[in-house]
Amino acid sequence: MDVHEYQAAELLAKHGVPVNPGRVASTPDEAAAAASELGGTVAIKAQVHSGGRGKAGGIKLAHNPEEAKAAAEAILGMDIRGHTVNKVLVAKGADIVREFYLGVVLDRPNRKVLIMASAEGGVDIEEVARTTPEKIVRINADPALGFHSYQAKELGFALGLRADKVHGFAKIAEHLYTAFIKEDATLVEVNPLILTGAGEWLALDSKMSFDDNALYRHKDIEGLRDMAEENETELDARSSGISFVKLDGDIGCIVNGAGLAMATMDAVKLSGGEPANFLDVGGGASASQVAKAFSLVTSDPNVRAILINIFGGITRGDVVADGIREALSQVDVKVPIVVRLSGTNAEEGKKILAEAGLMAVDTMDEAAEQVVSAASGQAA
């Protein structure tokens, strides 16, 4: 789960990170008021769950409340990579002397938490990682004992910081690590972390993402969810235990298992079609689950045919077939349906489907070809 910059900054401030003061505004007038309250130059920053805000014109400087109002007017409502800007952060202008990058992520290959820093802050860190990886310093926290103070200092010295700046930097690195662990984050990032003219450290832009699987123990973070940023259909699916991702094609897919669902999409593509979605009904595949899947898929007007691909494992083929039959009696599906049923009790399942007027095929490749044909208007 992602949160906005201002929310991340508030969370990090709780963990002791010095963040730049700011106010959130939903209207140009609020932005002007915030600018006047903060005084001096402010930055008006689009709050969207997307990178590339700067390039898209989503960050503007304003030297007075009037300019702040104008900037907010320009930014609010803007579309940034498919995300509509509903809020801006009005942040106090900072006296930037040097910009750093500081982030905490999971290091998958090492199965450890990684703390990364770079003296090349304020720019796209993935670009730095690609082009000049030696400019990023990486230290793994101890998996049982955590991120030691000496490691945080090591990070600071490795960046070439002067000794009198290492202590403050190391403290911030330790706070970011603590925030990562305590809040069950999957990413904590400050970019840029700046040194001001007064020699102070300041987190100018904060980013946090959270592990959905751990939200049960972080009700406060769950409460930060911005529904405007979420795909309603995907949320709806999740509440039924279904993984759903909307895509641009016209072949609706209903599959059990994430890997098989991806393989099914690949098969559709290989047969010349374009999948309309990724959909994993999960293990159960009960009638209500299948009905829900149908309604998710058919809610997309682009869908011209549906492919159901079930490999009966623990889920028995006859149960799934029953589910499909019942679901079809509840949901009015107007496009052709191709069913592929294999594995446990597949034969019994096919019999049930035949009685319901649906033909089932044996292989995924065959099913993909048929559904692509069906979508292009030919006989299923």
Q: Which is nearer to another protein, 22 or 249 (CB)?
A: 249
Catalytic residue check, 189: yes
Q: How far apart are the first and last CA of the chain?
A: 40
Candidate residues 101, 169, 201, 311; the one interacting with another protein per rule CB under 8 A: 311
Query: Taking a C-beta distance cutoff of 8 angstroms, is the pair 325, 349 a contact?
Result: no
Q: Cα separation of 244 and 246, whole Å?
A: 7
Binding mask 342-361 for another protein (x = CB under 8 A): xxx-----------------
Candidate residues 186, 196, 233, 288; the one interacting with another protein per rule CB under 8 A: 186
Under rule CB under 8 A, residue 364 binds another protein: yes
160 CB-near residues (< 8 Å, 6+ apart) = 119
DSSP letters for 295-333: HHHHTSTT--EEEEEEEESSS-HHHHHHHHHHHHHHS--
Q: Which stretch binds another protein (CB under 8 A): 15-23, 56-64, 212-220, 352-360?
A: 212-220
Under rule CB under 8 A, residue 160 binds another protein: no
Candidate residues 223, 259, 357, 377; the one interacting with another protein per rule CB under 8 A: 259
Candidate residues 80, 115, 267, 375; the one interacting with another protein per rule CB under 8 A: 267
Under rule CB under 8 A, residue 103 binds another protein: no
Query: Taking a C-beta distance cutoff of 8 angstroms, is the pair 90, 34 a contact?
Result: yes
Under rule CB under 8 A, residue 119 binds another protein: no
Six token digits for residue 222: 């769950």
Under rule CB under 8 A, residue 238 binds another protein: no
Q: How far is CA 321 from the centre of its chain?
A: 34
Q: Which is nearer to another protein, 149 or 376 (CB)?
A: 149
Under rule CB under 8 A, residue 365 binds another protein: yes
Catalytic residue check, 101: yes
Q: Cα separation of 99 and 118, whole Å?
A: 9
Under rule CB under 8 A, residue 136 binds another protein: no
Candidate residues 16, 57, 143, 199; the one interacting with another protein per rule CB under 8 A: 143
The site for another protein, by CB under 8 A, has a size of 63
Alpha helices in the chain (DSSP H): 5-14, 28-38, 65-75, 125-131, 149-158, 163-182, 219-222, 232-239, 258-270, 287-298, 317-330, 346-355, 364-375
Question: Minimum distance between the CB of residue 217 and another protein, rounded to whole angstroms?
Answer: 8
Q: Which is nearer to another protein, 94 or 247 (CB)?
A: 247
70 CB-near residues (< 8 Å, 6+ apart) = 28, 62
Q: Which residues bind another protein (CB under 8 A)?
A: 106, 108-109, 111-113, 126, 129-130, 142-145, 148-150, 153-154, 157, 163-164, 166, 180-181, 184, 186, 211-214, 216-217, 243, 245, 247, 255-263, 265-270, 275, 278, 280, 311-314, 342-344, 363-365
- Catalytically active residues are 101, 189
